[in-house]
Amino acid sequence: MNPLRRMIVLVILIPVLGISQNQITALSPSEKQLYNLINNYRLENKLPLVPLSKKLSLVAKTHCMDLYNNYLSETSSPCNMHSWSDKGNWTPVCYIEDHPEGPKMWMKPKEIAGYDSRGFEIAHAHSPKDNVCQPECALDGWKDSPGHNQVILNQSIWKDIKWNAMGVAMYKGYACVWFGEILD
């Protein structure tokens, strides 16, 4: 689908999806762009648009800031980027490859924003972390990562899940997107 047609589709469908102007304007220009890029990528793959979630965006922003301020790279810690530090009003989580603390991470939307279901995150870091992460760079990174791409495109273990909410945030060198099954 050509870029102009995708933008027209989004302009027409945003009101249909129940996204308020306040939700859209609460995002930074880069966050809006990332949200649109992800939905355009889904459209290109014949998948429905995912409505914006204010609650999941709050979780995403909180996590981006926690990552920026507290994350130690995977070379110095066994915890990956889906981990949460012990420096906030939340339960810390050391998220590692075999996911023993997965349920704690998946419930962050409820813990932080009162979202009434689990959430699933994709996260991207730009190196060095003080540089600004660009929306295209984040999406390209996720497209090149089979596990992250499967979340975006509802493939593999995600194929029977319908995303009804998406939260988007970018902060400095980090981008986080949370997907959920229920509307706010």
Q: Please give the pLDDT value at position 129.
A: 64
CA–CA distance, 170 with 64 (Å, rounded to integer): 6
Taking alpha carbons only, the member of 101, 60, 64, 61 closest to residue 79 is: 101
Q: Please give the pLDDT value at position 17.
A: 38
- Catalogue the long-range contacts made by 92-95 (C-beta closer than 8 Å, 24 or more residues apart): none
Q: Please give the pLDDT value at position 102.
A: 84
Q: What residues of the chain score a pLDDT lower than 50?
A: 1-25
Q: Please give the pLDDT value at position 130.
A: 65
The alpha carbon of 52 is separated from its chain's Cα centroid by a whole number of angstroms, namely 11
126 to each of 42, 130, 143, 148, how far by Cα in Å?
Answer: 23, 8, 15, 16
Assign 179 to helix, strand or coil: strand
pLDDT in tens, 94-140: 998 877 778 998 999 999 999 999 999 999 998 766 677 899 999 99
Q: Please give the pLDDT value at position 28.
A: 95
